[in-house]
Amino acid sequence: MNGKVSTVLVTYPDEETARAISRSLIERRLAACSNIFAVGSIYRWRGEIKEASEFASLLKVRSEDFQAVAEAVRELHPYDVPCIVRYDIADGSGDYLGWVMSSTARPPEDRAPK
């Protein structure tokens, strides 16, 4: 299953937004799971260094669906430039990776183009 499953890190302004977007992705079968956690962020924005409390999610997705995931997040996200970063899973528990694949299975006509 090497290369077929990825994690996607997304940050949000609050927990409510993180949950709403995560739920939407799971309902659309674009993500199998979303782990949501509080984070502190320090970043440069419009020439100033900012500090903020945010929430982040670590989504488990099919690698081939990343563009569809990114588009869905952008569509729902309040930030001008949301963090949407994909990490390939090099290896993992076969049972877990299989679960991700089965949880994101959709009819062929609903799948993202390759």
- Dist CA 63 CA 65 (whole Å): 5
Cβ–Cβ under 8 Å, residues 92 and 12: no
* Residue 51 backbone phi and psi in degrees, to 5: -130, 140
> Tens of pLDDT along the chain (114 residues)?
567 999 999 999 999 999 999 999 999 999 999 999 999 999 999 999 999 999 999 999 999 999 999 999 999 999 999 999 999 999 999 999 999 999 999 877 665 554
Q: Give the contacts of 22 (CB within 8 A, at least 6 positions apart).
A: 31, 34, 36, 57, 59
- Dist CA 63 CA 86 (whole Å): 8
Cβ–Cβ under 8 Å, residues 2 and 76: no
Q: Which CATH number fits domain 5-106: 3.50.50.60, 3.40.50.300, 3.30.70.980, 3.30.70.120?
A: 3.30.70.120
pTM: 0.89
